[in-house]
Amino acid sequence: LSQQYIKEVSFQGCGNTYVCPSYPIMPKVAFLTSGGIAPCLSASIGGLIEKYNQLDSDIEMIGYMHGYRGLLLGKSVAFSKEVKDNFHVLYDFGGSPIGNSRVKLTNIEDCIKKGYVSKGQDPLEVAAKQLEKDNIDILHTIGGDDTNTMAAALAAHLEKSGKTLTVVGLPKTVDNDVIPVKQTLGAWTAAEQGARFFQNIVNENTTSRRQLIIHEVMGRHCGWLTAGTAYEYRKLLENNNYLPELFISKDRWDVHAVYIPELDIDFASETARLRKIMDSNDCVNIFLSEGAGMDTIVREIEAGGGKVPRDAFGHVRLDEINPGQWFAKQFSEALGADKTLIQKSGYFARSAKPGLRDLDLIKKSAFMAAEMGLKGKSGLVGLDENNEDKLGLIDLQIIEGGKEFDTSQSWFGDMMADIGQK
């Protein structure tokens, strides 16, 4: 164990003072998952427990229920011996066994409104006092940029108060949009699962002539997941046999357009291109990032006097403004579609258990996070773009969200050229 957990004890007896040799004081570890779920949360907790078991099976662990909400309200669950002995079960489940929530500790008004703190209280101070009350030495935050920037704010607040807390985060987001992390936990699996989802949905093209299918994929500001899902789906197409004489062709089942926030959409040229595809294949399949065209949609809503729904972090609630419906409106009539189908793979994809690639990265990241925690080193464990994409400990203070997808990558360029989209 880290030297920070080695202490001495003095006691008096028979008129003399004795000093016992240094002995190890077990650190107490807490886990917290926050934000939306992704195919890595349960497995990350499993990986952390597994590594702590290897280091010292007597280490006490708890989980705060429903993220920062549970921390503010003092609601937690102790990890029993049975839980610690059966950590491997968590590798086979999606979601988070200790629950999630979207809470911004620096948004005092929202925390008061939701009843997490009382008027006049500072959520950061409330959280800090709860950690102190629970005797927490190491806090593991598993979430996206919002979760880990809140962890950074909490660590800074504690430091100003002269209190020591080691905070080690893990980067979770299906969007793969955390700066400077090369690959966030769960993103690969979400792309693979979204591809599986569309592998079934695409067969709906047989239910009507001239059918427009819009596959709406998660991705507020970053198009990585939409692009990755299209890429994984097209890999699945290579394994199929086709029967063109009976209208089962690769062209008809293929992806015909990919729209992401990083690329502008020329509706006039795209309509002309997709009209030809509709005429040829009797269907058009679009992969749409939910954040594509968001600024335009928001302007339309506000210009019409409507109010754009937003969460505690100020993010537009995309589920409530229906980007898929907006795009369907732009294309349906222009393409002469007899039927338009909009399907969202988000909940299906993000709820999965991790695939093999992700599970390998999750375990390596969690193992390093536990080691860093016992060494008293705070940060975010991830594939660091500032260090040749190597797995390492990244300063929490430089973690940001909103990383754009790099459209110059060869795999993406080749895919777009292959489907005929400029």
pLDDT tens-digit profile of 54-94? 999 999 999 999 999 999 999 999 999 999 999 999 999 99
- Please list the active-site residues: 175
Q: In the structure, what pLDDT confidence band is assigned to residue 422 with cuts at 50, 70 and 90? A: confident
221-245 pLDDT, tens per residue? 899 999 999 999 999 999 999 999 9
> What is the predicted pLDDT for the residue at 284?
98
Could you tell me the two tokens for 272? 């002309």
Could you tell me the two tokens for 94? 């999606």
pTM: 0.89
Scored b (16 or more CB within 10 A) or e, 239-270 reads eeeeeeeeeeeeebbbbbbbbbbbbebeeeeb
